[in-house]
Structure 1
Amino acid sequence: MSDTIDGQDRPRGPHRPHRPRRTLLLVSAALAVVAATVTVGRLGLGGGGTDEGPGTPPREGTTVRVKRATLTERTSLDAQLGYGAEAPLPVKATGTVTWLPAPGTTVQRGEELLRVDDRPVVLLYGALPMYRDLGLTAPAPAPTSETAPAPPSTGKPAPTTAPGASERPAPDASADAASAPPRELRGMDVMQFETNLATLGYTGFTVDGTFTAGTARAVKRWQKALGLPETGTVAVGDVVYASGAIRTGKPGVRLGAAVSENALTHTGTARKAVVETSAQDASWAVRGTRVTVGLPDGRTVRGTVASVGAEATASAPEGGGEGTGGATVPVTVTIEDQRALGRLEGGPVTVTYVGRERRNVLAVPVSALVALAEGGHGLETADGTFVAVRTGLFADGDVEVSGPAVREGLEVRIPR
């Protein structure tokens, strides 16, 4: 046969046979074997390590150096920010509640907590509760002839008044009582009250635990400022003691109801975090332990473990199924810098504590570890050699490594 070119027939050239597809398949298989060999070297198969030839291109990935560092294990737990559980105030006044503060009100020393029969009940600071009226008391009456004990019997007849002798009248006990000065009340409760009175600026007496006439005069000035009758005596229901300023909670009574000891609840004024930690893993929760509190906006503040609950509570299992979860104990964390919390008064937060710590150890990023076929972990050096390592503490994305071939400054590859 011939081809037609420019209108002329020309003979065809010799026939070229087609190349078999087998050659292409063999080339593809060879490339797969090469790739598999690289992978085997990366996994550490075949023993110690595989050195790359001078013509082998470098593998992809960044390199880092083995460093000396202090690794610290940190654990974060869910917690709740708030003011703590509300507790009732020991209100001892009797009568009808005529005014209550709004929940969340901060009350300080000398300020009104509530009003009963339109009389203020005032907050003072102290640990001893109010258990009696404070004031000057009437002197004890002198014994009279009716109340005086009879003299001991001597067996002799009692003497009689001689005839013509004048009889002297018995002394008037009521007159003596009226002229005698009142008795001064003493006690630690008096000392506590006098300390508060002086702190509020009412002076003119000595803070010594003795309720004197000077104390009574200062009380009258204090009562006048409160709009109370100036009696100089403090009734047991006029004062409620607390350890410091308080934040009022939900009242236990309504206006117009009779006052009771549960009329008003309170908390402290400082916000704190409460975390329910596992009773089995609560060894970290020791009073005074420093922790970090993570806020919802991403900021962190420092906290201190203030108390650990003495009783464990069974928590509900995850998923809400039947049965009980692990037992937990409440851990209260105080926050010194309350301003750092801003306007946040409650909500979910995290509490992070430090567990184990390893100082001055060799470390690399966790991503630098490779699994060895013979077991364990290794590192790939910059020249392609694989060295076996022992791993220790994992913390903050780094891992402690050790081994005969591991040294500070060794350059290792982080594979992609």
Structure 2
Amino acid sequence: MADRRVTMLDPETTTSTPDEPVKPAPPAQTSQPPPHRRRRRRRRGVLLGGVAVLAVGAAGTAYALNNSKTPTTTATSQLPTALVERKNMTNTIDADGTLGYGDGYTVLAGGGGRITWLPTAGSVIKRGQRAYGVDGYSVPLFYGSTPLWRTLRSGVSNGVDVLELERNLVALKYGKGLDVDRTFTWETAEAVRDWQEDLGRKRTGVVAPTDVVMLATAIRVVKVQAVLAGPANGTVYTASDTQRRVTVALPVSEAQTVARKGAKVRVTLPGDKEATGKITAIASVATGGTTNSQSQTGQSTEDATIAVTITLDQSAEASTLDGAPAVVHFPSTVHKDVLAVPINALLAASDATYSVNVVDADGTVRSVPVKLGIFDGDRVEVTGELTPGQKVQVPRS
């Protein structure tokens, strides 16, 4: 029985042949395999049978613990594979932000009369559309940076208000052939009359400051203060622009490193929707952190933040939520033309070294040591004896 036990545990350790009788071995030599064989089996058992999950930063996990420093070759595995890629990698700093809308506006009335129509909160108003109603007629929205401050009619002196009036008339398809300049001409008055006729007003050719609401862009109504039948005087409602934006309070140290006006960023929106945007504003004044009697010297400075505003490239990608949480991924470090593998392809050893299992064309699996670079999403930069297009094992999801 002792001879058969040795043969079953490690057939390579016996030199017996079918024609020779098996000689009894001393008990001390049959109780266990030779030391070097025992260690080899234990190492293989850790590599192929034992799996230890190891956190790798915040980006993912390595899926096995490999105590061996020596590359190994094993038989074909049934694990799925992924390709080794050559690509540009970007490390990011993630920051929590708040999804909302852009600049705020106050819509005013000052011409007397009674409010006869009001929009509802959330309504979007564009150029030429009714901003509110007074005494049964519409007061439309015009785009411009300078509000009308005087009555415009034939003979009025040149001015930027005339220019803005003509720009809006032409944009609304009035005044064909009208020269858009600072001069109020007969052609300007005729374009005004056509516009007034379509609004149901008298064809006077004269525009008073209270006849239009002049704002920089389309608006989204935030809060209505006026009431129907109330006096058309003072604040009618507050509004924002229609562009979706994310505001982030970045620590001063990080803002100085990653926040650059015009820089592109990625944004994770509610519902795990991905979007892109660019930094459009960086506050010039930092907001200091709070301190108390237990605070250390300089702690308030360390806690100080700077407001960074990101404007989304496609507002339609965002939900209609206002004040919802979002995550902004600021690019920090860029490595170009490097090799990358999925993070979960990494095998982590107890001595903090890493390897990946490469699957050759014949199905052979080889352990290849690698050194890690930067992380980008679910990929990690690696250096080692790898080439683009090779397959590496990854665990089943």
Confirm or deny a common fold (TM above 0.5).
yes
Give 1:15-414 correspondences, 5 Å limit.
34=39, 38=43, 43=67, 49=70, 67=84, 69-70=86-87, 71-84=89-102, 86-136=104-154, 183-203=155-175, 206-282=179-255, 283-314=257-288, 326-341=303-318, 344-346=320-322, 347-363=324-340, 366=343, 368-371=346-349, 373=351, 377-379=353-355, 390-402=371-383, 406=385, 408=387
Kept in 2: contact 1:202–1:222 (CA 8 A): yes
Q: Confirm or deny: 8 A CA contact 1:306 1:334 kept in the other structure.
A: yes
Distance 1:371 1:103, change over 3 A: same
Figure out how many residues of one structure are paired with residues of the other and give that number.
331
Question: Hey, what's the Cα distance between the residues in 1 that align with 2:72 and 2:167?
Answer: 84
Larger strand fraction of residues: 2
Letter aligned with residue 164 of structure 2: Q
Task: Give the corresponding residue for 1:146.
Answer: none
Cα shift at 1:124: 1.0
Residue of structure 2 equivalent to 1:147: none
Whether contact under 8 Å (1:185, 1:212) holds in the other structure is: no
Cα drift, residue 287 of structure 1: 2.9
Q: 1:307 to 1:43 in 2, by over 3 A?
A: same
User: What is the TM-score with the length of structure 2 in the denominator?
Assistant: 0.64
Fraction of identical pairs, as percent: 29
Contact 2:71 2:369 in 1 (8 A): no
Gapped regions of structure 2 (runs ≥ 5): 1-27, 48-65, 359-363
TM-superposed CA distance for 1:250, in Å, is 0.6
CA displacement at 1:194 relative to structure 2 = 2.0
Secondary structure of the 1:211 match is coil
The offset of 1:242, in angstroms, is 1.7
> CA contact under 8 A between 1:83 and 1:272: conserved in structure 2?
yes
C-alpha distance in 2 between matches for 1:254 and 1:79:
35
**Which amino acid letter does the alignment assign opposite residue 199 of structure 2?**
L
1:86-109 CA-partner distances (Å, limit 9, x unpaired): 321354434543432111222222
Post-superposition offset of 1:308:
2.5
Structure 1 residue runs without a partner (length 5+)? 1-22, 137-182
Instruction: Map Cα deviations across residues 167-218 of structure 1 (whole Å, 9 max, x no partner).
Output: xxxxxxxxxxxxxxxx443222112212222333332754332223443344
2:169 counterpart SS class: helix
The normalised TM-score by structure 1 is: 0.62
Amino acid at match of 1:269: T
Q: 1:369 to 1:99 in 2, by over 3 A?
A: same
Runs of 4+ in 1 over 6 A off after TM superposition: 57-66, 380-388, 409-416
DSSP-derived class of the 2:198 partner: helix
Match of 2:19 in 1: none
The residue matched to 1:263 in structure 2 has which SS? strand
SS in structure 1 of the partner of residue 128 of structure 2:
coil
Q: Matched residues in 1 for 2:104 and 2:210: separation?
A: 21
Q: Over aligned residues, Cα RMSD in angstroms?
A: 4.5
